[in-house]
Structures are given as structure tokens and as C-alpha cells.
Amino acid sequence: MIKHNQDGAVNSLVISLVLAVILLIAAAVFGGWAFSSRQDYKNNVDGKIKVAVAVAQAQSVVTEKAQLAQDEKQPYYTYQGPPQYGSISFQYPRTWSSYVNVSGSSGSALLDGYFMPPILSSVNDQTSNFALRVQVLNQTYASIVQQLQGQKTLTSNAYTLPLLPSVVGVEVSGPLQVTPGSTGVMIILPDRTNTIEIWTDGTAYLSDFNSIILPHFSFSP
């Protein structure tokens, strides 16, 4: 019985020693990792701070340039069209150039407007993309919408101008036939016996189209 107790004591001692060694090794590993991390932070903290500052400065420059670009657009210019074509009125960025033909010589367009920053490309080039186009067509709204129904590549939804909620038109997006090869957004509205079309080519000026042009667009239906 005495020998058994001695063996048990020895086994317990061995187990305790093994556990102590394991704990010692774990502590050494953790200590080494903590020391290495601390040394890395200590040795590289200046570089890390410089990188963080550079990133913050770059982001600040981008934000400032974007804000400056927006500020340069104001105060907005106002276009006021002739009464016989619905007295169209809207605002647009002062950084844009414009050309509006109201002679009725552009085919079926009684009024034909082109807007682009900072200068206009040739208005006679049918492949040119513009920030804004505005037309008053000598065609009924119903006939224009009927023509659109045959264009399966276009997406359309009912639309009302913020300043004229009583006038219901349609918003179409996709490849617009008025500018070959261009995908854009167009608003089509009834204007007495005529039709108003407002659109932007592509997506480069879609934000201005939605936030500046359309909220300020009005006419006398």
C-alpha cells in the first residue's frame, strides 16, 4: 500500500511538471509575439503615421476638388424660351455653354437647344454627346410615345416635373435614337399640341440633369 501511494505521488509530480513546462512554453511564445508586435509598432509607427496622414490628405483633396467643381457651377444661368413654344424655363450651370435654335429650321424641332461644358462641340455632328438637349417638337405627345413603344431596348416610366406635378409625361432610358450610339435618359412631356423632350447623353452629366435641370424645369402647358 505504501508503494502504491508513492507511485501516485510520482505520477502527480510528473503531470504537474509537464503542465508547468507547457504553461512556460505558452508564456514564452506569447511573450515573444507581444514583444515582436511592440517592436514592430515602435520601429514603424512614424511610417504608419505618415501613410495614414497621406491617405487622409489625398481624400481631403478629392473632396475639396469635388466641392470646388460644384461651387463653380453657381450661380446658375436661367434659360427662358419664347411664349409660342410654352415659355420653357430652367436653370443650368454657369460653366456650361449653350446654343438654342428657335427658328424652327431643325426639321420637326421648333426649339432645339444644346448645352455642354465648357464649350460646345459642333451641333451639326449627330454623334456628339451633350450634357443637355432640349427640344420642342411639332408632333403630338401621343405620336411620340407610340414611336417609343416599338423600341424594345428602352425602359420607360411615368414622370412628372417637380414644378409641374399636374403634367404627366414619361421617362425613358437606354439607347436614344436621337444621338446614335448614345445611351442616356430622356423626359418626354406634352406641351399643348407639341411635345417637349429633355435629355442627357450618357451618364457623365446625369447627376446635374437630375439635381439641377429637372428640379428647375418649367413651362406653360
CA 68 to chain centre: 17
Each residue's pLDDT tens digit, 156-170: 999 999 999 999 999
pLDDT greater at residue 22 or residue 145:
145
Each residue's pLDDT tens digit, 60-70: 776 777 777 78
Mean pLDDT in the chain? 85
- Residues in Cβ contact with 168 at an 8 Å cutoff, skipping those fewer than 6 apart: 158, 159, 160
Each residue's pLDDT tens digit, 86-135: 999 999 999 999 999 997 766 779 999 999 999 998 888 877 889 999 99
Confidence of residue 8 (pLDDT cuts 50, 70, 90): low
94-98, 105-109, 186-190, 203-207, range with the lowest pLDDT: 105-109
CA 111 to chain centre: 30
- The pLDDT, as a whole number, for residue 102 is 92
- The pLDDT, as a whole number, for residue 67 is 77
- The pLDDT, as a whole number, for residue 17 is 72
